[in-house]
Structure 1
Amino acid sequence: MDDHNHHDALSGGKFLFVTVLNALITLVEFLGGIFSGSLSLISDGFHNLGDSLSVILSYYAHRISGRKQTHKNTYGFKRAQIISAFINSVFLIVVSGFLIIEAVEKLMHPEKVDGGLMFIVALVGTLANLVSAILLSRGSKGNLNIRATYLHFLSDSLSSVGIIIAGILIQFYGWYFVDPLVTIAVALYIMFETWPIIKQTIYILMQGAPDIDCHQLRQDILNIDGVTNVHHVHLWSIDENSIIFSAHINMRDMKISEAEKIYQPITDLLKSKYHIDHVTLQAEVERGKQADFFFDQGPDIK
C-alpha cells in the first residue's frame, strides 16, 4: 500500500470524527457502567479511552513519519509509526491484564447488574466502534501503526457485542456472572490479537532482518557479471515496508567508473526482486574475499 492510501486512512477529517466519536462513547460507557453496575461496560469505557489516545498518538506518529531526512535523522522518521504501534499494543495488554484481575474478583463475588441498561449502552458502543473500525480498515493492511489502532476499535466492537449478549442473559435470566466472564473473554482475545504486533515491532526496533531468502539473494548477486564475492552484509528494516541493505562487493581491480557499472545491476536486482529501498555497496578486490556473507566479528559493529 502506498503512502497516499496510508495518509487517506488517517486524514484530518477522519481523525477528528473518530476521536470525537470515541470521546463521547467513552463518557456514555463510563456513566452506563456506573449506573448499571456493569464491569464489562466500564472495561469497554477504558478501552474506548485508550482508543482515543491511540488515534491521537497514531495520527501524530503518521504525520511525523512523512517528514524528510535531516542531518540528525538521516534515515528519516518512519520508525515513529513503529514506536506508536508498540506503545498502543503494550497499553492494550496492560489494560487487559488489569481487567482480567478485576473480572476474576467480580466472578468470585457477583454483584447485581442492570441488564437492560447494559444492552442499550453496549448497542450504541457497538455501532460507534464499528464505524471507527471501518474508517481505519483501509490503511490497516499495510501499516503496523494504523493496524494497532484499528485493532483497538475492532476489539471494542467485539467487546460491545459480548456485552449485548451478557445484557440479554442478565435481563432475562439473572445470570450476573456473565458480566465478568465477558470481560475476561474479550481481554484474552485482545491479548491474543495484540501480541503479534508487539513481537513484530520489537523485531523491527532491534533491526531484525526482513523475511528474505538470503541464500538466493547471495547467489543472484554472484551471478552478476564482474562480482567475485559478496560479504559483510547488513540487512534490516526501518519499518514494515522499508528495507535497508549494505554489503562489500569483491570484483577485479578496475577504475571506479567501471565499478559503478556493476553497482547498477546489483541495485536494480535488489530493488526489483527483493523490494529493498536503500542500497549501499563498497567495492573491494582482495580484502574480505574469504569472509562470510553476513558480518560476524563479535557483538559490536566495527
Structure 2
Amino acid sequence: MISIVLNIIITVAQVVGGLISGSLSLLSDALHNFSDVLSLIISYIANKLSAREASVSKTFGYKRAEIIAAFINASSLMVIAIILIKEAVERYFNPQSIDSTMVIWLAILAIAGNGFSVLLMKADSKTNMNMRSAYLHLVTDMLASVAVLIGGLLMKYYQLFWIDSVLTAGIAIYLIVVGYDLLKSSFNVLMLFTPSDIVIKDIVEAVCEIEEIKNIHHIHIWQLNEKEVHLEAHVEFHKNISISEFDSILTKIEKVANDEFNINHINIQPEFNKEDPKDIIVQD
C-alpha cells in the first residue's frame, strides 16, 4: 500500500512535469510508473485472494491468483515497452527543446520513491512470483529514472536533446528483457506445463525401482502455484495387492517424489493387469 501511494504521487508529478518540460523520457517514465501503480494494485489484490480458503465451488481456492497477476504484470511490461520504442523513434527524428532542470528534479523524486519501494519488497520477491513481478516493475522504473536523470544532466550542460529519445528506447529494451522471463514462467504455470527442472524420465526410473511396481504411466505433472507441484499417474503392480499394501507403497512413492523432485502433491491410480495405454504420456 505504501508503494502504491508513492507511485501515484510520482506518476502525477512526472506527467505534469513531462508536459511542461516537453520531455518524452519523463513522460515514458510516468507511463511506466502508472503501470507500477496498476501492477501493485493487481499484486495486492492477488495476494489477498490467494489467502482465501478453498470451498466446495473452488476446491483449489484462489491459489492461482498470484500467477495470473504475475502474467498480467509481465504482459503489461512488454506492451509498454513497444509503445515507448515507437514514441522514441518518432521523437528522435523530431527533437524538441526540453526543460532539463525540471526533468532532473522529478527524476530524483522518482528514484527516491521507487528506491524505497524496492527495499520494502525485496525480501518477498525472492520467494513469490507475484511479488517478483511487482518488484521488477519497481526496479526497472528506478533504473529508468536513473537514466532520465543522466539524460537531464546531459541536456542541461551539453544541450544533447536527442539523448531523451535514446534513453527512452533503452528503457523500453530493458523492460522487454526483464519482462520476458517472468512472462514465460507465469505462462508455463497457467498452461499446466511440466516444471522445467523436472525430467519425467527420471521420475519413471526412480518410481520403478520400488520392487512392487511394474510400471508408471499416464503421467501429468504441473504447478498449481509456486509452492505446489502436483503429480498424477497410473501405477501398475506386479501382483494383486491389498489396500493396506498400496498405502505402504504410496508412502514410498510420495517420499521419492518429494525428496528427489520437490513434488508435494501426489494422486496415484493403482492398477493390476488393466488393459489401458501404458505410454508415459497419454493424450486424454
Structure 1 runs not aligned, ≥5 long = 1-15
Structure 2: give runs of 5+ residues left out of the alignment: none
* SS in structure 1 at match of 2:52: coil
**Residue type at the aligned position of 1:286:** N
1:183-202 deviation digits (Å, cap 9, x = unpaired): 11001100111011111111
Residues 256-280 of structure 1: CA deviation (Å, up to 9, x unaligned): 2222111111112212221112100
Given the alignment of the two structures, is residue 131 of structure 1 paired with residue 116 of structure 2, yes or no?
Answer: yes
User: Is 1:276 paired with 2:263?
Assistant: yes
Shift of 1:93: 1.3
Closer, same or farther: CA 33–170 of 1 in aligned 2, 3 Å: same
Change (3 A) 1:236 1:288: farther
* Partner SS, residue 212 of structure 1: coil
Residue type at the aligned position of 1:275: N
Give the aligned residue type for 1:249: V
The residue number in structure 2 matching 1:85 is 70
Q: Determine which of 207, 210, 213 is the counterpart of 1:224.
A: 210
Matching of residue 215 in structure 1 with residue 215 in structure 2 = no
Q: How many residues align?
A: 282
TM-score computed with the length of structure 1 as normaliser: 0.90
Residues 1:239 and 2:209 are matched in the alignment: no
User: For residues 290 and 91 of structure 1, do their structure 2 counterparts lie closer, same or farther at Cα, with a shift above 3 Å needed?
Assistant: closer
Say yes or no: does 1:27 pair with 2:12.
Answer: yes
Whole-Å separation in 2 of the counterparts to 1:258 and 1:123 = 68
1:196 paired to 2:192: no
Q: Is the 8 A contact 1:96 1:188 kept in 2?
A: yes
Q: Which moved further from structure 2: 173-182 or 222-231?
A: 222-231
How far apart are 1:242 and its partner, in Å? 1.4
The 3 A distance-change label for structure 1 pair 18 and 91 is same
Find the counterpart in structure 1 of residue 36 from structure 2.
51
Question: Which among 258, 263, 273 is matched to residue 250 of structure 2?
Answer: 263
Per-residue deviation at 1:70?
A: 1.7
The CA deviation string for residues 15-48 of structure 1, in whole angstroms up to 9 with x for no partner, is: x211111111111111111121111111111111
Structure 1 residue 232 displacement after superposition: 1.1
CA drift of 1:288 comes to: 4.9
AA at the equivalent of 2:266: V
- Following the alignment from structure 2 to structure 1, what is the Cα–Cα distance between the partners of residues 190 and 275? 29
Give the aligned partner of residue 187 of structure 1. Answer: 172
**C-alpha separation in 1, matches of 2:277 and 2:67:** 37
Q: CA deviation at 1:92?
A: 1.5
Counterpart contact for 1:231–1:288, Cα < 8 Å: no
Distance 2:249 2:80 in 1: 54
Q: What code does the residue aligned with 1:26 have?
A: T
Identity rate, percent: 34
Q: What amino acid does structure 2 have at the position aligned with 1:67? A: R
RMSD over equivalenced CA pairs, Å? 1.4
Runs of 4+ in 1 over 6 A off after TM superposition: none
Q: Secondary structure at 2:198's aligned position in 1? A: coil
TM-score, scaled relative to structure 2 = 0.95
How far is the alpha carbon of 1:142 from its aligned partner?
A: 2.1
Matching of residue 165 in structure 1 with residue 150 in structure 2: yes
Task: Spell out, residue by residue over 1:197-236, the C-alpha distance to the aligned partner (whole angstroms, 9 max, x if none).
Answer: 1111111111100121222211111111311111111111
CA distance in 2, matches of 1:163, 1:218: 54
Following superposition, the deviation at residue 75 of structure 1 comes to: 2.4
Q: Quick check: 1:231–1:289 contact (8 Å CA) kept in 2?
A: no
Please say if residues 230 and 293 of structure 1, whose CA atoms lie closer than 8 Å, have aligned partners that are also in contact. Answer: yes
Bigger drift between 133-142 and 188-197 goes to 133-142
Deviation at 1:67, TM superposition (A): 1.8
User: Is structure 2 residue 77 aligned with structure 1 residue 61?
Assistant: no
Give the aligned residue type for 1:245: L
CA contact 1:250–1:289 (8 Å) conserved in 2:
no
